[in-house]
Amino acid sequence: MIDADKRKAVFLLHQEGIGRNQIARQLRISPNTVRVIIEQQGQMPLRARSDKIEIDAELLKRLYQECGGFAQRVHEKLVEEELISIQYSTLTRLLRQLGIRRGAEPRCERVPDEPGAEMQHDTTVYSVLLGRHTSQADRQLAVPALLEETVLEVLSGVQPLPDEVLLR
């Protein structure tokens, strides 16, 4: 879509007598686009989306109630019982527009990170089995400390390389 300023420039250049191809080269747009803009006299076209399918709002509300709020089931009933061919995405948009169905809720709430503010963090105590050693510590400290200790032991020849590393 060509913005309003560029449309106005195309139309003004045309009124000054500059040719369609020259306008297209100067503004780096297609000559056909220039032709269409000139036909529209530089005005933005007013286009409102018109639905190709119209479904009675009362029917949607009734089906939504009957199906217990399951949009997928509403879609199945519309297609199978009411013989209305509609895409699922179109149905969910119509349900949202009618206020019948809310949009997907976010999985979690965002909390601003402010310097000096209290923050939540994982305080779970994990049992870590690394080679022959078992230790309990929080996630941030347990694995790096034990790995470092075991790597040093392996490199110094005190202990053979462990076969597996398990977190429980």
Domain boundaries, the chain: 4-39, 57-97, 125-167
Q: Which residues of 84-118 are buried (b: 16+ CB within 10 A; e: fewer)?
A: bebeeeebbebbeeeebbeeeeeeeeeeeeeeeee
pLDDT digits (tens, 9 = 90+) for 125-135: 666 666 666 66
Determine whether 139 is exposed, middle or buried from the number of CB atoms within 10 Å of its CB (0-12, 13-18, 19+): middle
Say if residue 103's pLDDT is above 50.
yes
- The enclosing H or E element of 154 equals helix 139-156
What does the pLDDT read at residue 52? Answer: 77
What does the pLDDT read at residue 167? Answer: 46
Query: Under DSSP, is residue 128 helix (H, G, I), strand (E, B) or coil?
Result: strand
What does the pLDDT read at residue 16? Answer: 94
Q: Are 131 and 150 spatial neighbours (Cβ–Cβ below 8 Å)?
A: yes
Q: Are 79 and 86 spatial neighbours (Cβ–Cβ below 8 Å)?
A: yes
| Closest to 34 measured CA to CA, from 56, 15, 7, 53 | 7
The pTM of the whole model exceeds 0.75: no
pLDDT digits (tens, 9 = 90+) for 106-163: 666 676 777 777 766 666 766 666 666 666 665 555 455 555 655 556 556 555 545 5
pLDDT digits (tens, 9 = 90+) for 16-62: 999 999 999 999 999 999 999 999 998 888 776 666 788 899 999 99
